[in-house]
Amino acid sequence: AQTVTQSQPEMSVQEAETVTLSCTYDTSESNYYLFWYKQPPSRQMILVIRQEAYKQQNATENRFSVNFQKAAKSFSLKISDSQLGDTAMYFCAFTLSNFGNEKLTFGTGTRLTIIP
Amino acid sequence: SAVISQKPSRDICQRGTSLTIQCQVDSQVTMMFWYRQQPGQSLTLIATANQGSEATYESGFVIDKFPISRPNLTFSTLTVSNMSPEDSSIYLCSVDLANEQFFGPGTRLTVL
């Protein structure tokens, strides 16, 4: 079974600073997909970024980037130039399939607060 | 992308009663997923609903407690039966479309 671990229950950072959220996972598979989801107080789950395990290049989406270390089974999220709207719960998630028939396994989440 | 709606958005129910949550997607999808998010917790998969067949339940979840219907490719319902305060959670449906999982806005259930 796959597991996802987020070791930082809460983090806070000043607006405009950079913050890194940690995630580790455990799997015996070689092909899989990793995600970071954001859940603001509205509780809507929003996909922030996605990484395919077979790609060596780290994914980036504007101010969001990941540091994917496959051998270490580590998948951290870096948020640059943080904004007040980044305040939310962030969940790391894992799935095996690219065909829409596999569940997501979530970490326990990191509550991120951006301080004005 | 996919637009997913859920009804109701929230409800307060009495112990021992049942609530049916509806999930509507604007695209046809093979699989729909139902998750539970207990207060302050992460998301846990309840079951996977495949149109035309019985839902597949995760360990710790049973059909008698969480019956699911999947009458077509755009709609599903989850019923929370014989509710107790421990069932107070947010229930979310999701679909996988073009290699991305989209989530509904969730149903916040409070059981008194």
Residue A8 maps to which CATH number?
2.60.40.10
Checking if the pLDDT of B12 tops 90, the result is: yes
User: Which domains occur in chain B, in start order?
Assistant: 4-111 (2.60.40.10)
Interface residue A103 vs chain B (CB under 8 A): yes
Residues 46-75 of B with CB under 8 A from A: 48, 58
Q: Cα separation of A33 and B2, whole Å?
A: 20
Q: Which chain B residue has the Cα nearest residue A42?
A: B105
- Residue B47's Cβ-count burial label (10 Å; 0-12, 13-18, 19+) is buried
Per-residue pLDDT, B22: 98
- The Cα–Cα gap between A38 and B67 comes to 29
Which domain, by its residues, includes A47?
Answer: 3-115
Q: Quote the minimal CA–CA distance from A110 to chain B in Å.
A: 10
Cβ distance A44 to B105 less than 8 Å, yes or no, reads: yes
The residues near A12 (Cβ < 8 Å, ≥ 6 apart) are A112, A113, A114, A115
pLDDT digits (tens, 9 = 90+) for A62-98: 999 999 999 999 999 999 999 999 999 999 999 887 6
Per the structure, the count of domains in chain A is 1
As a whole number, the mean pLDDT across chain B is 93
How much of chain A exceeds pLDDT 90, in percent?
Answer: 79
Instruction: Tell me what pLDDT residue B83 has.
Output: 97
